[in-house]
Structure 1
Amino acid sequence: MSKVIIPITPVYGHVAPMLSIAKDLIRRGHEVTIITGSIFKEAVEKTGAAFVSFTGAADWKPEELLDPERLALEGPTQVNYDLQRYFVSAIPSQYVALQQELEKYGDDQAIVMAESFGFSISPALHGAPGVRAKGYIVVGVIPLAISSIDAAPFGMGLEPDSSEEGRARNIELNGLMKNTVFGDAQKLYEMVLTDLGATGEIPYLLDSCIRADSYLQLSVEELSYKRSDLPESVRFIGALPTPPSVDAKLPVWWSDVLEAKKVVVVTQGTVANGDFSYLIEPTLEALADLPVLVIAATGSKNEVKNIPANARVADFIPFVDLLPHTNVLVTNGGFGGTQQALSFGVPMVLAGISEDKIEGNARTAHTGAAINLKTQSPTPEAIREAVLNVLNKPEFLANAQRLKAEYAALDPYTAIANVVAELDAK
């Protein structure tokens, strides 16, 4: 039995997959402690893991992402803001909490498993003093963000290019991203780690995680572009299987889904769902006169306006039940949701540029399984055209089905458990 400590950034898209992983590790007999935001205490304890709350700057609440100052920003500028306020500023408090848990076991007794923007392990990876873990694992719950000579930097949403000219472009853009676009976040990161006692040169903050013993990316390689310089520590392990809907009740109109010839689902995810005028309402308007059933999964109790006759609305429907009947998913492109859709072979229309979506949506569209509208507030006309293209052009479905087969060949839970066992045997 291994002792595993899992620090998690306190936002749903990071917490949900790590809780699923924790539950599987506990099922296999491991002792798991989870450190995350105080609002997730009940969810953590339901897994059987021990709960420890972050404090101070690390215990921020997901609703803070709706701050008007933040929402006024877009694309890389918003990511730079997020990195500073929610991630880098939280490192000292996160490191204290992690050290307190490691001290209960002592050096080389526990394994630490962070998620891709879980910078709580960065001080340790860069020589800061403190109790050492037996091993450090990173699980990629967002699109792979590390730099590559074959791709433009994370956050720009540009096509990969491994030609001689493309590599020269990539090198220049990676420098620009580190020193200018994310320059403020990088300077703060260097200052924070130095204050915590890090030694040696501190790398680009999005590259720091590759110093972990193992980086397990929740996707298939195509979603990260082919890279000639991929670190040996990085492995692609597929998508976490969508759990069965044990307690969820299907809506009273579920028979409409089963009888429909074509079903289009629209969602704005779990964070950017405060204003349905961005995507859900324009989609309902766009498809109102088409012979399709439109399902709006809102993720909140907010009211949806002007619901047409061919639409149904629910605040929650289990995707494990809905996706097998879905012909097109219209989504803002949250990483977990797109992984689910691809694992079911469902093609998409993507409309989101916040958080990691500008990058994730570009990569998903590059596979040929989706159309990227490159905005978070598309017009009904743009949505209608894109949905009709996906419905009527067989290559979108074919590419989604191809990726479904790739996901089906991978077993992420076993891959994670095997790495835990390898580190514990050291």
Structure 2
Amino acid sequence: MSTYLLCATPAHGHVMPLLQVATHLAAGGHRVLFLTSSRYAPRIAAAGVEFRALPDAADVDLDDAASVPGRAGLTGPAAIRFDMLHLFLRPGAAQLAALRALLADTPVDAILTEPLFVGAALLVETPRAVRPPIVALGIFPLGIASRDTAPFGLGIPPRAGWTGRLRNAALAIASRRLVFAPVAREADAIARHELGHPLGRFFLDWHSAADAVVQFTVSEFEYPRSDLPPHVTFVGALPPAASAAAAGDLPDWWSELSGTRPVVHVTQGTVANSDLGQLVLPTIAGLGGSAPLVVVSTGGAPVARVPGPLPENVRVAPYLPYDLLLPRVDVMVTNGGYGGVQQALRHGIPLVVAGRTEDKVEVSARVAWSGVGIDLRTNTPAPDAVAAAVRRVQGEPGFRARAASLARAFRAAPGLAGLDAVLDQVGPAGTEADPIESFARRGVR
């Protein structure tokens, strides 16, 4: 059995997917350590995983990012630039110190990290012979740079042909030198201080140098790249958490999800739900009194934030078990959380998305590009716009057909068994001089 170290920046949307991975590895008999904020220690310990605490300098509360001065109201590239500088890069040195101290005390066979754990981005710049393999876990849209895609963070879909490549090259220059120039300068400054040299590549593309990238989606939901590195493996979605809900734990209206009327599910996820007026309330206003049953999950926010009286066709709960709910859903309205979108597509559910913050601008763009739904291109759609998009998704069979096609791809994907296969291929420190060439030679994809 092996020893694995998982690393996550302190945010629910980063920690919870990696905790699923950690639980899977622990169930397989491996020793698993998890480095993140002490706020998550009880949940990690309950999963049978060994918790390791980030130092105070790296323990930033990303779940409360909206309260950071200067963050409110930012969307798209401006929001990503702010987050990179203030929330992710600046704790990077302390993350690297924590990694080094932990590795000096406990040798591990591989480090598994989400792409925004900057300590791993710095560690990957050290020689392979003196560090464990580093595996980036793709819990957000794939951000690896390509001649065939616009730079990550702009929310711009691909354009075919040489004109598209010229556009992408121009956008890449503008992105690095203008849009994300402060990010690149900060990343290089941290690397010079910690490593003695700047990063070998643009920071947002650091995981192209990881020993492996395991992307938790299917290739059909990602932009095609003719230059995709061979160390990138698509394994499908993380499995939904198995529901522990007994019949008595379900809402008293659950029996109404019987298939006698269409069901529209709306959610703002479990983090970006402090203002339900962004998407939940406009959806209720737009679809209230119409034919579909509108099922709202507040993601843990108090149900009282959904003001009454509710229209006769609206049902609300703080949490709903997705493994039980999604097979009954016809259309999902979401702010574009990556995990939730993957779960919807596993069930062939077409989407209406309204998200422009964090990585959601890229998720939303992929929903529209792949043909599985409509991108409203805003955080705060009007009720009429939501209602019109839902009606269009319901009425035009192409959306459901494309979503069904992706559902077949998800069913065929290996899931966490694919991660196991990748971990079997990456050897301990010093066993592969060129991990990317090794993956190409072995045909791992």
TM-score, reference length from structure 1: 0.96
Q: Is the counterpart of residue 305 in structure 1 residue 303 in structure 2?
A: no
Amino acid at match of 1:160: P
Mark the CA change 1:200 to 1:10 in structure 2 (over 3 Å): closer, same or farther. Answer: closer
Contact kept, 8 Å, 2:191 with 2:199, in 1: the verdict is no
CA gap 1:47/1:127 in 2 versus in 1, 3 angstroms = same
Q: In 1, distance between residues paired with 2:199 and 2:86? A: 23
Matched with 2:439 is none
Paired residue for 2:235?
Answer: 237
| Match 2:415 to one of 392, 412, 423 | 412
Identify the residue that residue 222 of structure 2 maps to in structure 1. Answer: 224
Is 1:72 matched with 2:59? no
Which residue number corresponds to residue 87 of structure 1? 88
The alignment status of 1:177 with 2:175, answered yes or no, reads: yes
Question: Which amino acid is 2:104 matched to?
Answer: E
Q: Is the 8 A contact 2:11 2:63 kept in 1?
A: no
> Offset of 1:201 from its aligned partner?
5.4
SS of residue in 2 equivalent to 1:35: strand
Q: Which residue of 1 aligns with 2:381?
A: 378
SS in 2 for 1:391: helix
Q: Distance in 2 between matches of 1:98 and 1:152?
A: 33
The one-letter amino acid of 2:149's match is A
Matches within 5 A, 1:247-326: 247=245, 249-299=249-299, 300-301=301-302, 303-306=305-308, 307-326=310-329
Q: Distance in 1 between matches of 2:156 and 2:121?
A: 28
| 1:378 shift after superposition | 0.2
Map of 1:39-54 to 2, 5 A cutoff? Answer: 39-54=39-54
On the 8 A contact 1:260/1:293 being kept in 2, the answer is no
Shift of 1:292: 1.0
Write the mapping of 1:325-344 to structure 2, written as runs, cut at 5 A. 325-344=328-347
Report the RMSD for the aligned CA atoms in angstroms. 1.7
> Partners of 1:198 and 1:204 in 2: how far apart?
17
**Structure-2 separation of matches of 1:377 and 1:82:** 20
Whole-angstrom distance in 2 between the partners of 1:270 and 1:58: 23
Counterpart residue type for residue 193 of structure 1:
A
Report deviation, 1:257: 1.5
Contact 1:178–1:186 (Cα < 8 Å) also in 2: yes
Written as runs of structure 1 = structure 2, the 5 A alignment for 1:147-166 is 147-166=145-164
Deviation at 1:28, TM superposition (A): 0.9
* Structure 1 unaligned residues grouped into runs of 5+: none
TM-score (norm 2): 0.92
Q: Which residue of 2 aligns with 1:35?
A: 35
- Aligned residue number for residue 115 of structure 2: 116
Aligned counterparts of 1:159 and 1:105: Cα–Cα separation in 2: 43
Residues 185-239 of structure 1: CA deviation (Å, up to 9, x unaligned): 1110000011101546531001111111101111111322110111111111110
How far the C-alpha of 1:408 sits from its partner, in A, is 0.7
- Which shifted more, 339-348 or 159-168? 159-168
Q: Is contact 1:102-1:131 (8 Å) kept?
A: no
> Helix, strand or coil for the counterpart of 1:215?
strand
Following the alignment from structure 1 to structure 2, what is the Cα–Cα distance between the partners of residues 252 and 131? 58
The 8 Å contact of residues 11 and 62 in structure 1, kept in 2 or not, is answered as: yes
Q: Compared with structure 1, are the counterparts of its residues 201 and 391 closer, same or farther at alpha carbon in structure 2 (3 Å cutoff)?
A: closer
Cα distance in 1 for partners of 2:367, 2:207 equals 23
Counterpart amino acid of 1:238? G
Percent of paired sites with the same residue: 35
Could you list the structure 1 runs, at least 4 aligned residues long, displaced by more than 6 angstroms after superposition.
none
CA displacement 1:283-336 (0-9 Å, x = unmatched): 001011211110110011151124211101101001111110000000000001
Rounded to whole Å, the distance in 2 between the matches of 1:48 and 1:131 is 30
Which amino acid counterpart does residue 208 of structure 1 have in structure 2? W
Q: Confirm whether residue 55 of structure 1 aligns to residue 55 of structure 2.
A: yes
- Does structure 1 retain, via aligned residues, the 8 Å contact 2:113–2:135? yes
Residue 111 of structure 2 aligns to a residue in which SS? strand
Q: Are the equivalent residues in 2 in contact too, given 1:214–1:419 (CA < 8 A)? A: yes
Residue 180 of structure 1, CA deviation: 1.1
Question: In structure 1, how many angstroms separate the alpha carbons of the residues matched to 2:160 and 2:118?
Answer: 30
Q: Quote the residue 1:387 is aligned against.
A: 390
Aligned to 1:358: 361
**Superposed counterparts of 1:204-215, under 5 Å:** 204-215=202-213
Q: Distance in 2 between matches of 1:148 and 1:131?
A: 28
Letter matched to residue 116 of structure 1: P
For residue 42 of structure 1, what is the amino acid of its counterpart? Answer: P
Larger mean Cα displacement after TM superposition, 325-334 or 300-309: 300-309
Hey, what's the Cα distance between the residues in 2 that align with 1:124 and 1:57? Answer: 18
Return 168-177 or 254-263, whichever deviates more. 254-263
The answer as to whether partners of 2:353 and 2:376 remain within 8 angstroms in 1 is: yes
**Gaps in structure 2 of 5+ consecutive residues:** 432-445
Question: In the TM superposition, what whole-angstrom CA distance separates every residue of 1:250-299 from its partner, at most 9, and x where no partner exists?
Answer: 11110112254200010011221011111101100101121111011001
Partner residue of 2:99?
98
Partners of 2:199 and 2:255 in 1: how far apart? 60
